[in-house]
């Protein structure tokens, strides 16, 4: 009987590729937030980097090729987009008010961040996010 919980039949559980994906997503989201805070604009092109990173981390982790890996790469990419936009909006508002990092990230609500991200992201940023989802699906499978 085959083991559905292993990646590539190597005896590794699915936890390792998911851990790799989570670490990669958090790293790219942090880099995106820092780049946007110290530059001008949202840097929507970082979504493409996030898509490539998500696909690469799942491959490195040994996740089997297929639509499940593509779906995870897309989910990872969208998670990075959400985390980065949350971080950018929260820190641009909280830091000038004297809040530290964790206070800034925990204060705004979902509706407020959604509104700010919608206002801050240009058409180019939104197009980059859409392209990133397609790249994650393509390279993730």
The residue-averaged pLDDT of 38-54 equals 95
Confidence of residue 31 (pLDDT cuts 50, 70, 90): very high
Which residues are within 8 A (CB) of 25 and not within 5 positions of it... i.e. 6 or more apart?
50, 53, 54, 57, 76, 79, 80, 83
For position 41, what pLDDT does the model report?
87
Note whether 135 and 48 are within 8 A (CB): yes
Both tokens of 27, joined, read 């790293």
65-108 pLDDT, tens digit per residue, is 999 999 999 999 999 999 999 999 999 899 899 998 889 998 88
The residue-averaged pLDDT of 59-70 equals 94
Question: pTM of the prediction?
Answer: 0.87
Residue 137 has pLDDT above 90, yes or no: yes
């Amino acid at each position: 009987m085959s083991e559905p919980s292993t990646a590539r039949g190597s005896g590794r559980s699915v936890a390792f590729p998911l851990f790799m994906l989570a670490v990669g997503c958090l790293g790219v989201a942090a880099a995106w937030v820092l780049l946007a805070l110290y530059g001008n604009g949202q840097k929507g092109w970082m979504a493409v980097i996030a898509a490539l990173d998500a696909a690469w981390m799942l491959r490195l982790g040994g996740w089997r090729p297929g639509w499940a890996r593509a779906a995870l790469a897309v989910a990872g990419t969208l998670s990075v987009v959400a985390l980065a936009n949350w971080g950018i909006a929260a820190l641009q508002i909280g830091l000038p008010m004297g809040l530290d990092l964790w206070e800034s990230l925990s204060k705004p609500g979902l509706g407020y961040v959604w509104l700010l991200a919608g206002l801050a992201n240009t058409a180019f940023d939104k197009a980059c996010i859409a392209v990133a989802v397609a790249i994650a699906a393509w390279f993730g499978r």
